[in-house]
Amino acid sequence: MKRDSRLSIVLHGLLHMEAHGKPMTSAELAVCMDTNPVVVRRTMAGLRDRGLVHSEKGHGGGWTIARPLGEISLLDIHESLGEPDVIGFSNKEESPGCLIEQAVNRELDATREEMRAAFAARMRAITLADIWESVRDRFVAHHNYRKDHHHDA
């Protein structure tokens, strides 16, 4: 299966927008994210429609985050992408006549529901601010490591 990586793409883009400080164009984002400007627009479109980001045309235009990072959960973003299915396996047939296949589907459906619940619970609890802090922590750690170990004259 070709797996959906839009959530990964969008999160990466959003945090670069935050780091940039001013509106960032689709072309600039595309370079950061090693993809295409049209892919950026297409992927951000859902977030724009929900008011998570803002886009502006013309000179000085581009993308900005429209809310405080702490008020955007990863679940909000997932929903803005149209809630693509996060499960990698499916039933051969969704409404089979066969009693055996029905029983198999019941069991696998229940498993998928549990996995979706685990996904939603975690994604609801995490905001962009959390990831942003995680970036900062690692950056500081890296900086301190270099400071403690540098061998310059």
Partner DNA sequence: CAATTATGAAACAAATAAAGTTACATGAAA
Partner DNA sequence: TTTCATGTAACTTTATTTGTTTCATAATTG
Size of the site for a second copy (CB under 8 A): 57
- Interacting residue ranges for DNA, rule: CB under 7 A: 1-6, 9, 24-27, 34-39, 41-42, 44-45, 48, 55-63, 84, 92
- CA–CA distance, 118 with 76 (Å, rounded to integer): 15
- Residue 153 binds a second copy, judged by CB under 8 A: no
Three-state SS for 65?
strand
Exposed, middle or buried: residue 72 (CB in 10 Å: 0-12, 13-18, 19+)?
buried
- Least separation in angstroms between residue 106's CB and a second copy is 7
57 interface partner picked from DNA, a second copy, none, CB below 5 to 8 A per type = DNA
CB 44 within 8 A of CB 53: yes
Query: Strand 53-56 vs strand 62-65: parallel, antiparallel, or unpaired?
Result: antiparallel
Q: What distance lies between CA 47 and its chain's CA centroid?
A: 11
Q: Which is nearer to a second copy, 111 or 144 (CB)?
A: 111
- Residue 104 binds a second copy, judged by CB under 8 A: yes
- CA–CA distance, 19 with 29 (Å, rounded to integer): 12
- Residue 22 binds a second copy, judged by CB under 8 A: no
- Residue 64 binds a second copy, judged by CB under 8 A: no
With CB under 8 A as the contact rule, which of the stretches 30-38, 51-59, 60-68, 143-151 interacts with a second copy?
30-38
Residues in contact with 96: Cβ distance below 8 Å, sequence separation at least 6, in sequence order: 102, 105
- CA–CA distance, 64 with 18 (Å, rounded to integer): 8
- Residue 140 binds a second copy, judged by CB under 8 A: no
Which residues of this protein are in contact with a second copy, per CB under 8 A? 1-9, 11-12, 15-16, 19, 32-35, 74, 84-93, 98-108, 110-111, 114-115, 117-119, 122-123, 126, 130-131, 134-135, 138-139, 142
